[in-house]
Structures are given as C-alpha cells and as structure tokens.
Structure 1
Amino acid sequence: MKHLFFAASLALVSLPTLADSFTFGEPAPAAKATRTVEVLLKDIAFEPESLQVKAGETVRFVLINQGQLPHEFNLGDKAMHAEHQKEMVAMQGKLFTGAMQHEGMDHSQMNHAEGHGHAGGNTVLVQPGQRAELTWTFSKSAPIEFACNVPGHYQAGMVGPLTIE
C-alpha cells in the first residue's frame, strides 16, 4: 500500500511539469536572449501587429502597456488562448480591482503562475503605464499567436501571428 501511495504522489508531483511543456518552446532567463523585441500594448492593439522569430532563437520581449486597460501578452496556439480566456473570465472579478493587491499579490508582476494555474511562463499581465518582460526560447516551427486574453480583447482583435522560421 505504501508503494501505491508513493507512486500516486510521484505522479501528482510530475503533473505540473507535463502541463508546462509547449511544442513551440520554453521560458528562458533574460540573460540567454539573443534578441530583444519591444512590443507596445495599446488599447485593443499590439504594435507590431505580427512577429517573426527563428527556431532555436531566444527572444526577450519587453512589453510596454501604453493603454488605459490591463493587457496580457500570451504565447500559444488558438486552443491554448481559448482555454486561457475561460480562466480569465472566471478571474475577472478580482483581476482589475484592488482585491489582488489586498491579498498580497502584485498582479502587475505575476506571470500567472499564482493566479491562473499557468506555471508555464508563457503569459504576463501588464497594468496601464507599466512595463514587463517575457523571455522565450522558440524550439521549432508551430502555428502560434501572441494575444491578450483579458475578457473581450482577443475577440476585439488584440491578437497577432508569431511566425517561427
């Protein structure tokens, strides 16, 4: 019985690691970046509107929210964005109020690991007037997008293609 309990515990501990894997790459430390790309987050728009990277490249994205609303920069495919949008809708009561600050969470600096179950490092929320960074190593070509999954933003067009060459 002890062996069964140990095996089950080990399997549960391993689940987050499996959930964090992405076919298109993985988070990386900023020091490993071979290129820096500045992305402006405006109200319901990204600038630039599309991004190109090379397979094997590590890119440091500097995200500057010039809008009046909180915005996300999230790397993923269409299915991942759809799933994340459901999580964001469930969180929206706390997302934009002081509730997260009162609970001791600095949402402007989080990578969604604490609040959204996204320990993958592929997402950052940036408050109005703030800057944030996300560094990613792109492993291979895959059809992905960068998007803002704050409720309604993706649907309003705050999404762009990211081509991995």
Structure 2
Amino acid sequence: MVKTTFVTAAMTAMAFAASGSALAAGAHEGGHHGASIGKPGKERSVDRTVQIRMMDNYYEPKSLKIEQGETIRFKVRNAGSLVHEFNIGTPSMHKAHRGEMMSMVQNGIIEGGTLHRDRMGMEGHGMKHDDPNSVLLEPGQSREIIWHFSKDTNLQFACNVPGHYQSGMHGSINVQ
C-alpha cells in the first residue's frame, strides 16, 4: 500500500510539472531561507541537537517544538533507499521548491537512490542545492544543519523530491 501510494504521488507530481504548472526556479518566498524562517546558526551558539531520520516516506520525529531564539543543530541521516531532502521552510517555500526538485529529476541529477552531484549547477541542469536550510542526501548519508529560529512561527521540514512531500514526507516545526 505504501509503495502504491508513493508511486501514485510521484506520478501525480510528474504530471503536474509536465503540465507547465510547476513554479520556475528561484520563485522562493525571500529565497531559500527568507527572514521569515530564521537564519543559519553558529556552532558556538547551539542550544541543543535534534536527530532527524529520513525514511522513504516519512521523518522521525514527525514534529518539533522549538523556543523562539533557539539555535538547533539538526543531525540528519537518510535511512531510506531513495535520495531525500531535509528542508526547513514555509508551505509556500516548499511548494515553490518542488519545481526546482522536479527539474533535478528531469535533468538526471536525482535518479532513485543516486544523486549525481557532478551534474549540479551545470548550465541547463538545475540548481546547486547548497542552501544552509537544506540538505539533499543519498541513502546512508548524514549531514548537519545549524539553524537559528528567530521568530514565533509555524514552519515545516519537508522532502521536495517529486512525490515525496505528497506521500507524507513532511513534518511541523512549531516555534514559540
């Protein structure tokens, strides 16, 4: 059932992009990391560390509560069998970013469980995907993000690889 749901969501996402309705690259609300979501944090300012595990259609944990002004070190591990993203943003930022991620699939940068980093940023081959609020990982890879949450707001973390968000690969960040 999960596999069928994932395949259906992926096909829906691809049909959406092919229809020309996908948003163009760079259409983010204030860029990938607008002031509405905070800013990159500094190592010396980390208040706590949060472990994030990415599976093939969900995250562990599914939601986070963060204090306004807190700086979090996210230790992100891809425990799934596909390429996944951990991206901090607003729902509208994620919606805009899905078009860019579709472009990465269409240009062969993301192929199932393989990420062709050597093709990233090449003319006509999508974006570099090097924003401080996001990591893109192959199965078994781990990386860290240090992020400072400056505003009282509700955010999401999400995987915007085509079909992944639609299959449930997103979670909430409640900053109070």
TM-score, normalisation: structure 1: 0.76
Q: Which has the larger radius of gyration?
A: 1
Q: Deviations over 1:72-115 (max 9, x none)?
A: 00011110000000110011133224783444x6xxxxxxxxx6
Deviations 1:107-150 (A, max 9, x none): xxxxxxxx636664111101101111111000011221000001
Give the root-mean-square deviation of aligned CA atoms: 2.2
User: Contact between 1:88 and 1:151, CA under 8 Å: does it hold in 2?
Assistant: yes
Q: What SS does the aligned partner of 1:31 have?
A: helix
Per-residue CA deviations over 1:39-94 (Å, capped at 9, x if unaligned) read 10011110001011110000000001110011100011110000000110011133
Residue in 2 aligned with 1:42?
Answer: 55
Q: Residues 39, 154 of structure 1: CA spacing in aligned structure 2 closer, same or farther, 3 A cutoff?
A: same
Structure 2 unaligned segments of length 5 or more: list them: 1-29, 121-125
The residue identity in structure 1 corresponding to 2:174 is T
Q: Give the structure 2 partner of residue 136 of structure 1.
A: 147
The percent of aligned pairs where both chains have the same amino acid is 41
Quickly say closer, same or farther: Cα 1:32–1:89, change in 2 above 3 A. Answer: same
CA distance in 1, matches of 2:71, 2:118: 35
TM, length-normalised to structure 2: 0.71
Work out the number of aligned pairs and report it.
Answer: 139
Gaps of 5+ in 1: 1-17, 106-114
Query: Which of the pair is proportionally richer in helix?
Result: 1
The whole-number CA distance in structure 2 between the counterparts of 1:128 and 1:120 is 20
